[in-house]
Amino acid sequence: MADPEVKDASEAKKGLNPIILILVAVVLLAVAGGGFFFFVASGNKAQDTEAQEEVKKKKEEKPKVFYQFEDSFIVNLAETNAERYLKVTPVFEVESEDVQNEITEKLPQIKDILITIFSSKTLDEVTTLSGKDRLKQEIIDKVNEVLAKGKVTRVFFSDFVIQ
């Protein structure tokens, strides 16, 4: 009788091995699945945080304030013997409505600055892209010299015609 008991015990041990292997495999899959889920979830949180920061920055940015001149400036270009003229309508991007109001208050002085700048330019200076960029920067520099409540940050041309 000792022999049958030994056979039963050895068969029982052989039967436990596949069950233990299956249990270990299930536990490993559960741990791997949990790790993967944690990794994916933490990555989404980082992306969500970045998206929320971008939204906050956009909300914190002040809306742009522009000063639009009612009339275009028409001037003779320098060194053309009045044969060529420039018609331009600048638009100022300013820091605040206070600057916009100050421009309105100092409009005659600012118009004089603009007319002087525009009429001092030659045809070659206003036909190239780099020339227009230099013109914009000169306008910003000269106009900001007379402003006290803020400054002009950018200049755009809504109309620019050379005849």
Instruction: Measure Cα distances from 103 to 6, 30, 88, 91, 129 in Å.
Output: 105, 69, 18, 12, 27
Give the residue with greater pLDDT, 104 vs 22.
104
Q: For 109, list phi and psi in degrees, rounded to 5.
A: -65, -40
Least confident of 41-45, 60-64, 90-94: 41-45
Considering the chain, what percentage of its residues have pLDDT values greater than 70? 82
Residue 1 pLDDT > 70: no
Can you tell me which residue has the tokens 């003229």? Answer: 85
- Binned at pLDDT 50, 70 and 90, residue 118 comes out as very high
> 88 exposed, middle or buried (CB, 10 Å; 0-12, 13-18, 19+)?
buried
Give the residue with greater pLDDT, 14 vs 110.
110
Angle at which helix 107-119 crosses helix 97-105, to 10 degrees, equals 80
Q: Which two tokens stand for residue 116?
A: 């002087």
Give the residue with greater pLDDT, 139 vs 23.
139
Euclidean distance between the first and final Cα of the chain, in Å?
A: 120
Considering the chain, what percentage of its residues have pLDDT values greater than 90? 56
What value does the mean pLDDT take over residues 57-78?
Answer: 86
The dihedral built from the CA positions of residue 46, 47, 52 and 53, taken in this order, carries a sign that is: positive
Q: How far apart are CA 107 and CA 9, in angstroms?
A: 105
Q: How far apart are CA 130 and CA 155, in angstroms?
A: 14
Chain mean pLDDT for the chain: 85
For residue range 32-53, list pLDDT tens digits in order. Answer: 888 787 777 666 665 667 777 7
For residue range 125-157, list pLDDT tens digits in order. Answer: 999 999 999 999 999 999 999 999 999 999 999
Instruction: Measure Cα distances from 82 to 49, 52, 90, 122, 135 in Å.
Output: 61, 57, 22, 11, 20
pTM of structure: 0.63
In this prediction, residue 23 carries a pLDDT of 80
Residue 14 pLDDT > 60: no
